[in-house]
Amino acid sequence: MHAIPYWRLSGFYFFYFAFVGAMAPYWSLYLRSLEFNAFQIGVLMSLLHVMRIFAPNIWGHIADRTGKRVAIVQVAALVCLISFIGVFIGSSFWWLFAVMSFISFFWSASLPLVEATTLSHLKDRTDRYGKIRLWGSIGFILVVVGLGAVLDHWPIRTLIWVIMGLLVGIVLFARFIPEAEVAHLETEHVSLKGVLKRPEVVALLVAAMLMAAAHGPYYTFFTIHMVDAGYTKMAAGWLWALGVVCEIGIFLIMPRVLKRVRAETVILITLLAAALRFVIIGWWVASLPILLFAQLLHALTFGAYHASAIGLVHRHFRGKNQARGQALYNSLAFGIGGSFGSLYSGAAWDSLGGAATFTLAGGLALLAALVFAWRGRAATV
């Protein structure tokens, strides 16, 4: 990978998703330890997504106007680190609401800008994206497994110290990511509005929102679902890790897959796999063999889906639209979709139960598949 800052980009992904590996599986347990109910937990977890509705578009617009993508990431990472100190100061619902909102606003700047920077460094070698992104999966696995073991024996408050250390790692690696040159070919430039008029682009973004919403119960309550079913925190951590191990494997083979199979076809398969997976998690949580199969499907529902979707976004949003395209994808999918996912799962968990909540998730994934099957394939590519 000559001339590509492989390790600097990979190191950022490592710590970024190690942070996610601490927050997604275990932050809800920390919030429950503060005696918040399921709806309050859902609201607080949704804040990690709510700011991504509009913040990435603000950051993306600034980045495209200034050309300073990495500088924005560096400042945002530092502000996140400083803001997280607020978690040590108070633990009331509204205090954490304010602190998590502030962190999320700046944290949401990082990923879409780093994604755009990575793809710009790769130029026409976007099939190699997975080899860089897999280091994020490795970071996630190490943290989710290690924390599961630690939290079985240490107080849940240990979590906030670990997260602080991971934020330090993000700040350090952000410091050394080089800016990438973006080729703005005016003769090929299409306005953002023009891109958004294409049916296949609309279908991709709608399906992405529904897919993110379908993951709401998984990212908010999966660990609680496991612990309530009698699994240890370490066992829950290994189940999380199994899914991400499969994700790494799929990232390694996706370059070859995408040379033979259209990205649109891969996405449709992954949406159907997600519908099956969430129904399994909801109703067969007590059966470890079936649950293991559900986690194996993470290779499709995250790994193959993400690599294909990011590639399609990069294909549709070219030149001056690159950063804004990635930001729009993140804000719609993980912002609107992710927020809705956390909120409906929090509202449904206590009243309907885990099985029904995960069934709702499966229904949303199926709806995403129907939308994408209808208009997701462009007439020409």
Q: Would residue 1 count as lying in a domain? A: no
Q: Would residue 229 count as lying in a domain? A: yes
Among residues 111, 115, 133, which one has the least CA distance to residue 251? 133
Q: Residue 185 half-sphere exposure, CB side, CA atoms within 13 Å? A: 4
| Residue 6 tokens, joined | 């492989």
| Residue 265 tokens, joined | 């076809």
Number of domains in the chain: 1
Q: Would residue 381 count as lying in a domain? A: no
Q: Would residue 148 count as lying in a domain? A: yes
| DSSP label of 177 | P
Do residues 236 and 151 make contact, with C-beta atoms less than 8 angstroms apart?
no
Do residues 95 and 47 make contact, with C-beta atoms less than 8 angstroms apart?
no
Reply yes or no on whether the pLDDT at 320 is more than 70. no
**Which of the four pLDDT bands, split at 50, 70 and 90, describes residue 186?**
very low
Backbone angles phi, psi at 320, to 5 degrees: -65, -15
- Highest mean pLDDT among 180-189, 305-314, 348-357 belongs to 348-357
Q: What is the CATH number of the domain that holds 370?
A: 1.20.1250.20
Among residues 340, 203, 217, 216, which one has the least CA distance to residue 268? 203
Q: What is the pLDDT of residues 9-21, one digit of tens each?
A: 888 999 999 999 8
Provide the H-helix boundaries in 300-353: 305-316, 322-330, 338-352
Mean pLDDT, the chain, whole residue set: 86
| Residue 65 tokens, joined | 């106007």
| Residue 253 tokens, joined | 């083979």
Q: Would residue 380 count as lying in a domain? A: no
Average pLDDT over residues 198-205: 87
Q: Is 71 exposed, middle or buried (0-12, 13-18, 19+ CB in 10 A)?
A: middle
Reply yes or no on whether the pLDDT at 368 is more than 80. yes
Q: Tell me the three-class secondary structure of 268-315, residue by residue.
A: HHHHHHHHHHHHHHHHCCCCHHHHHHHHHCHHHHHHHHHHHHHHHHHH
Residue 80: domain span: 6-181+190-375
The pTM is what?
Answer: 0.76
Q: How many helices (H) and strands (E) does the chain have?
A: 20, 0
